[in-house]
Amino acid sequence: MRRRMMMTAVAAAGLLALTACAGGGDDGGSEGRGDITIWYSNNEAEIAWGKQMVEAWNAENPDEQIRAQEIPAGASSEEVIGAAITAGNAPCLVYNTSPAAVPQFQRQGGLVNLSEFDDGDGYITERTGDIADQYRSADGDFYQMPWKSNPVMIFYNKAMFAQAGLDAENPPLATYDEFLETARTLVESGAAPFAINPSPTSEFFQSWFDFYPLYAAHSGGTLLVEDGAATFDDANGTAVAEFWSTIYTEGLAGKEQYQGDAFADGVAAMSIVGPWAISVYGDDVDWGAVPVPTQDGIAADETFTFSDAKNVAMFTACDNQATAWDVLKFSTSEEQDGIWLDETGQMPLRQNLTETYPDYFAANPAYEQFGDQAARTVEVPNVPNSIEIWQTFRDGYSNSVIFGEEPVADFLTGAATEIDELAQG
């Protein structure tokens, strides 16, 4: 009897010790405070920002320290995060959460509902403005903090345009007709092997950098799926798909995956990229940037585009969620957003961006149009089966638009029918 009692006591002590290890904080859960772990992206500029943010927080909060690391290597950060959710070892915060993966993470039970914090909804909508609504989940709540965007625009190589006899300062790229004519001139003159070269591969996300920005612009900011139904099987979708179909049919873009950066390597005279590219291309390419084209040409200050945003999500494996929420607000404060902008050139998802940081945009005029464009961005729809929806769209797009195996109208109708069903969950 005495031995059994002794064993029970030892087991209870062990269990308590384990529980304490796992908790690592005062209360645990949404009220928990204590040390937290965060992951951030692995590119140089974001690491520099992350390190200073962590140092600044840790200096002021000795009892609630941040342990930071780069997102572990994997085929994609979404797969790594998904695996971490399943294993129960996700960090408290991930500063690189793809909005397209949020519905899946939410379904897995891996995300904390940020709207349930007292000031959750208020903080997010006050910081980001109306654009924040695109990031609400189907239940109307936020499971991700809109963090930063890379609104994509058309980058063009001024030297190649000049070589083709085109006006490099005011290139005719506003309408589809102008764009196509310019593209033909670039290729026929021999200035560039391809006018533009979006990746023709089959990954689900590739349509974010060819069809979707132009669709957002042409439709005035319509998402691929709205109110549980596909939107693109209409005149807008047809115009955009026909435009790209012409590009491929006439050989103005390549159908083969290019190993490297076609724009930087001089293989293509144009590219669809966000402001991250400014520091990458640097002085290697004499570039200019214009909004993505529309059928009849829309004024730049009315043109929408794809956001290419990455957000911050809080994970249910986090024991000290109260601390994590405070860190989330600290890291997205006006001061930290300013440092972020300065370090990375990517746009914080903050309303009135150019007015908030006038000094930065005055000192970096190349970024100003991206700062302005950030106010008119379209996100991937926050709906069930988000990635499957994009893969369905991409498969049909490849078949019809890139490889010309199916009429555009059939592709749009077929993909819309499948996506309608997927969007219902």
Partner 1 sequence: MTTVSAPPSAAATGPDETPPSRRPRRWLGENPLGLLLSAPYLLFIGLVFAYPIVFSVWMSFQDYFFAAPGAEVDRPFVGFDNYIAVIQDPAVWRSFGNVGIFLLINVPLTVGLSLLLATALDKVVHARTFFRVSYYVPYVTASVAVVAVWLFLFSTGGLVNQILGPLAPEPSWLVNSALAMPTIALFVTWKGLGFYILLYLAALQNVGKELYEAASVDGAGAVRRFFTVTVPGVRPATVLVFLLATITGANLFTEPYLLTGGGGPNGASTSPVLLMYQRGIEQGNPDVASALGVILIIFVLIIAWLQYRFLGGRES
Q: Which is nearer to partner 1, 263 or 397 (CB)?
A: 397
Closest to partner 1 by CB, 159 or 387: 387
Strand partners, 154: 272, 290
Cβ-based nearer residue to partner 1, 82 or 291:
82
Tell me if 164 sits within 8 A of 195, measured CB to CB.
no
Q: Maximum Cα–Cα distance for the chain, whole Å?
A: 97
User: Rounded to an integer, what distance in angstroms lies between the CA atom of residue 163 and that of residue 141?
Assistant: 52
CB atoms within 10 A of CB 169: 9
Q: Compare residues 55 and 203 and give the one whose CB is closer to partner 1.
A: 203
DSSP-derived 3-state class of residue 353:
helix
For residues 154, 157, 161 and 167, what is the CA-based torsion angle, rounded to 10 degrees?
Answer: 60
CA 110 to each of CA 36, 64, 95, 138, 146: distance values in angstroms, whole numbers, following the listed order: 16, 23, 15, 16, 18
Burial class of 299 by CB neighbour count within 10 A (0 to 12, 13 to 18, 19+):
exposed
Judged by beta carbon, residue 86 or residue 170, the one nearer partner 1 is: 86
Q: Which residues bind partner 1 (CB under 8 A)?
A: 78-79, 82, 85-88, 90, 104, 107-110, 199-204, 254-257, 259, 316-317, 385, 387-388, 391, 395, 398-399, 402-403, 405
Partners of residue 26 on adjacent β-strands:
none
Residue closer to partner 1 by CB (options 92, 347) is 92
CB of 25 to partner 1, least distance (A): 17
Closest distance of CB 83 from partner 1, Å: 8
- From the centroid of its chain, how far is CA 60? 31
Shortest reach from residue 78's CB to partner 1, in Å: 8
Please say which residue, 105 or 304, places its beta carbon nearer to partner 1.
105
CB of 302 to partner 1, least distance (A): 35
User: Given the DSSP bridges, would you call strands 153-157 and 268-273 parallel, antiparallel or unpaired?
Assistant: antiparallel
Distance CA 119, CA 237 (A): 39
Cβ burial, residue 301 (10 Å; 0-12/13-18/19+): exposed
Among left, alpha and beta (phi > 0; psi -120 to 50; other), residue 41 is beta
**Looking at beta carbons only, is 67 or 107 nearer to partner 1?**
107
CB of 99 to partner 1, least distance (A): 15
Smallest distance, partner 1 to C-beta of residue 316, A? 6
Tokens representing 170 are 């005011």
Which residue's CB is nearer to partner 1, number 307 or number 316?
Answer: 316
Torsional sign, CA 288, 222, 347, 65:
negative
Shortest separation between residue 413's beta carbon and partner 1, angstroms:
16
366 closest CA partner among 296, 303, 277:
277
Give the nearest distance from C-beta 340 to partner 1 in angstroms: 29
Dihedral sign for Cα 138, 141, 142, 143, please. negative
Q: How far is the CB of 111 from partner 1 (least distance, A)?
A: 9
Tell me which amino acid residue 377 is. T
